[in-house]
Structure 1
Amino acid sequence: MDPLERSESISKEFKENREKETWRRTCLLSFQSLGIVFGRLSTAPLYVFGSIHPGDFKSEKEIYELFSFIFWSLSIIPLLKYAFIVLRADDDGEGGTFPLYSLLCRYANVGLLPNDNSASEIMNHDSESDRIKVRTRARRALERHKIFHNLLFFLALFGCCMIIADGVLTPSVSVLSATSTFGRSMIKLSHRVFSSPKTRNQADKIFSKIPVPMSCAILVCLFSVQRFGTKKVGFLFAPIIIVWLTFISGIGVYNIVKDPKILHAISPIYMFRFFKRVDLRSWKLLGSIVLCVAGSEAMFTNLGHFSMKSIKLTFICLVYPALILSYAGQAASIARHLGTSDDVANLSEYVPDKTLHHAFAIVSIFASAVGSQATITASFSIINQCQSLSCFPRVKVIHTSDEIRGQVYIPDVNWLFMALSIGITVGFRSITPIGTATGLAIISGMLVTTCLMSLVISLPWERSLILSTCFLLFFGSLEAMYLSSSLLNFPRGAWFLLVLSVIFLTIMISWHYGTLKKYQFDVENKVSVDWLTDLSPGLGISRVHGIGFIHTNIVSGIPAFFSHFITNLPAFHEVLIFVCFKSLPIPYISNDQRYLIGRVGPKEYKIYRCVVLHGYRDNIRDCDDFEDHIVSSIGEFIAREVRDHEALTSPEGMMVLGRTMGRGSALIPMTISSTSDQTFVGNTTKSILSCDLAETSSAPALRKRVRFTLPEKSPQQDDSVRQELQHLVDARESGTAYFLGKSHLSVRRGSNLLKRFLVMIYIFLDQNCREPPVALNIPHAALLEVGMAYTI
Structure 2
Amino acid sequence: MPDIVENSIDLVSQDHQEVSDHPDHDEDQLEGKKLSWERLPRDDSLDLESRSLTVPHGHESKDEDWLVTMHLAFQSIGVVFGDLGTSPLYMYASIFNKGINHDDDILGVLSLLFYILTLIPLIKYTFIVLRATDNGEGGTFALYSLLCRYAKIGMTPSQQPEDRDVSNFELEFPTKSVKRASRLKSLLENSPSAKVFLLFATMLGTSMVIGDGILTPSLSVLSAVVGIKQATSAMTDDRIVWISVAILIGLFMVQRFGTDKIGYSFAPTICIWFIMVAGIGVYNFIKFDPTVVKALNPKYIVDYFRRNKHDAWISIGGIVLAITGTEALFADVGHFTVRSIQLSMCTITYPALVLTYAGQASFLRKNRLLVADTFFKSIPKPLYWPMFVVSVLSSIISSQAMISGTFSVIQQSVSLGCFPRVKIVHTSTKYAGQVYIPEVNYLLMLACVGVTLGFRTLERIGNAYGIAVVFVMTLTSSFLVLIMIMIWKTNIFLIISYVLVIGSVEFLCLSSMLYKFDQGGYLPLAFAAVLMFVMFVWNDVHRRKYYYELDHKISPEQLKKTAIDRNFCRMPGLAIFYSEIVQGIPPIFDHYAANVPALHSVLVFVSIKSLPISKVPLEERFLFRRVEPKDLNVFRCVARYGYTDVRNENEPFEGLLVEKMKEFIRDSFWISQRNNMHSSDGEIKFGIKEEVQDWTLVNSGENGKEDSKRQVDDQDKQQDLLDREIEAIDKAWRQGVVHLIGENEVTAAEGAGIVRRLLIDYAYNFLKRNLRQTDQVFNIPHKRMLKVGMTYEI
Alpha-carbon distance in 2 for matches of 1:383, 1:25? 26
What's the CA shift for 1:775? 1.9
Alpha-carbon distance in 1 for matches of 2:131, 2:482? 14
C-alpha contact (below 8 Å) 2:84/2:323 kept by paired residues: yes
Alpha-carbon distance in 2 for matches of 1:546, 1:472? 66
Alpha-carbon distance in 2 for matches of 1:435, 1:184? 19
Match of 2:426 among 395, 399, 409: 399
C-alpha contact (below 8 Å) 2:151/2:167 kept by paired residues: no
C-alpha contact (below 8 Å) 2:149/2:166 kept by paired residues: no
Aligned pair 1:157/2:242, yes or no? no
SS at match of 2:428: coil
Alpha-carbon distance in 1 for matches of 2:500, 2:620? 41
TM-score (norm 2): 0.81
Aligned to 2:379: 351
Match of 1:317 among 329, 339, 347: 347
What's the CA shift for 1:311? 1.4
TM-score (norm 1): 0.81
Cα deviations across residues 102-145 of structure 1 (Å, max 9, x unaligned)?
222122111112322xx54xx897x8897686682222222121
Cα deviations across residues 337-391 of structure 1 (Å, max 9, x unaligned)?
22x25x62552232232x6444333222111111011111111111112122221
Alpha-carbon distance in 1 for matches of 2:163, 2:221? 53
Aligned to 2:768: 766
Match of 2:310 among 280, 286, 289: 280
SS at match of 1:739: strand
Cα deviations across residues 395-436 of structure 1 (Å, max 9, x unaligned)?
222111111121111112112111111111111111111111
Aligned to 1:100: 143
Aligned pair 1:69/2:112, yes or no? yes
Listed as ranges, the matches of 1:172-183 within 5 Å are 172-183=218-229
Alpha-carbon distance in 2 for matches of 1:321, 1:719? 76
Aligned pair 1:782/2:779, yes or no? no
What's the CA shift for 1:208? 4.4
Listed as ranges, the matches of 1:662-673 within 5 Å are none
C-alpha contact (below 8 Å) 1:565/1:786 kept by paired residues: yes
Listed as ranges, the matches of 1:25-424 within 5 Å are 25-52=68-95, 54-55=97-98, 57-116=100-159, 120=161, 136-187=182-233, 203=234, 206-257=235-286, 258-276=288-306, 279-338=309-368, 340-341=369-370, 344-353=372-381, 356-424=383-451
What's the CA shift for 1:167? 0.6
Cα deviations across residues 601-648 of structure 1 (Å, max 9, x unaligned)?
22222212224568xx95678453554554455444333335558999
Alpha-carbon distance in 2 for matches of 1:60, 1:457? 42
Aligned to 2:34: none
What's the CA shift for 1:170? 0.3
Alpha-carbon distance in 2 for matches of 1:237, 1:57? 36
User: Alpha carbons of 1:287 and 1:732: their partners in 2 closer, same or farther (altered >3 Å)?
Assistant: farther
Q: More displaced, 72-81 or 96-105?
A: 96-105
How many correspondences in the alignment?
A: 698
Letter in 2 for 1:790: Y
What's the CA shift for 1:336? 3.1
User: Alpha carbons of 1:264 and 1:184: their partners in 2 closer, same or farther (altered >3 Å)?
Assistant: same
SS at match of 1:58: coil
SS at match of 2:624: strand
User: Alpha carbons of 1:46 and 1:5: their partners in 2 closer, same or farther (altered >3 Å)?
Assistant: same
Q: More displaced, 574-583 or 448-457?
A: 574-583
C-alpha contact (below 8 Å) 2:484/2:495 kept by paired residues: yes
Alpha-carbon distance in 2 for matches of 1:646, 1:157? 54
User: Alpha carbons of 1:547 and 1:462: their partners in 2 closer, same or farther (altered >3 Å)?
Assistant: farther
What's the CA shift for 1:333? 2.8
Aligned to 1:451: 478
Alpha-carbon distance in 2 for matches of 1:491, 1:791? 44
C-alpha contact (below 8 Å) 2:407/2:435 kept by paired residues: yes
Alpha-carbon distance in 1 for matches of 2:219, 2:264? 24
User: Alpha carbons of 1:335 and 1:757: their partners in 2 closer, same or farther (altered >3 Å)?
Assistant: farther
Larger Rg: 2
What's the CA shift for 1:289? 0.8
User: Alpha carbons of 1:8 and 1:494: their partners in 2 closer, same or farther (altered >3 Å)?
Assistant: farther
Alpha-carbon distance in 1 for matches of 2:123, 2:166? 35
Alpha-carbon distance in 1 for matches of 2:297, 2:627? 71
Alpha-carbon distance in 2 for matches of 1:637, 1:215? 60
C-alpha contact (below 8 Å) 1:252/1:328 kept by paired residues: yes
Give the gaps of 5 or more residues in structure 2: 1-40, 173-180, 676-714
Aligned to 2:684: none
What's the CA shift for 1:774? 5.5
User: Alpha carbons of 1:524 and 1:486: their partners in 2 closer, same or farther (altered >3 Å)?
Assistant: same
What's the CA shift for 1:78? 1.5
Listed as ranges, the matches of 1:571-586 within 5 Å are 571-581=598-608
Letter in 1 for 2:578: H
SS at match of 2:599: strand
Aligned pair 1:486/2:516, yes or no? no
What's the CA shift for 1:84? 1.6
Cα deviations across residues 84-110 of structure 1 (Å, max 9, x unaligned)?
222222222222222222222122111
Letter in 1 for 2:137: E
Alpha-carbon distance in 2 for matches of 1:747, 1:771? 21
C-alpha contact (below 8 Å) 1:455/1:468 kept by paired residues: no
Aligned to 2:702: none
Q: More displaced, 171-180 or 758-767?
A: 758-767
SS at match of 2:94: coil
Give the gaps of 5 or more residues in structure 1: 188-202, 649-713
Listed as ranges, the matches of 1:482-561 within 5 Å are 482-561=509-588
Higher relative CO (CA 8 A, sep ≥ 6), structure 1 or 2? 2
User: Alpha carbons of 1:80 and 1:627: their partners in 2 closer, same or farther (altered >3 Å)?
Assistant: farther
What's the CA shift for 1:273? 2.8
User: Alpha carbons of 1:620 and 1:28: their partners in 2 closer, same or farther (altered >3 Å)?
Assistant: closer
Alpha-carbon distance in 2 for matches of 1:250, 1:80? 25
Q: Percent identity?
A: 37
Cα deviations across residues 209-253 of structure 1 (Å, max 9, x unaligned)?
432122112111211111111111111111110121122112212
Alpha-carbon distance in 1 for matches of 2:420, 2:789? 20
Letter in 2 for 1:737: V
Letter in 1 for 2:521: A
User: Alpha carbons of 1:491 and 1:618: their partners in 2 closer, same or farther (altered >3 Å)?
Assistant: same
Letter in 2 for 1:226: Q
C-alpha contact (below 8 Å) 1:626/1:776 kept by paired residues: no
What's the CA shift for 1:55? 1.1
What's the CA shift for 1:270? 2.1
C-alpha contact (below 8 Å) 2:57/2:614 kept by paired residues: no
What's the CA shift for 1:773? 5.7
Cα deviations across residues 144-184 of structure 1 (Å, max 9, x unaligned)?
21222212222221221111110110001001111111111
Alpha-carbon distance in 1 for matches of 2:265, 2:101? 42
Cα deviations across residues 305-353 of structure 1 (Å, max 9, x unaligned)?
1222221111111111101111122233334322x25x62552232232
Aligned to 1:681: none
C-alpha contact (below 8 Å) 1:529/1:601 kept by paired residues: yes
User: Alpha carbons of 1:255 and 1:428: their partners in 2 closer, same or farther (altered >3 Å)?
Assistant: same
What's the CA shift for 1:77? 1.4
Alpha-carbon distance in 1 for matches of 2:495, 2:625? 44
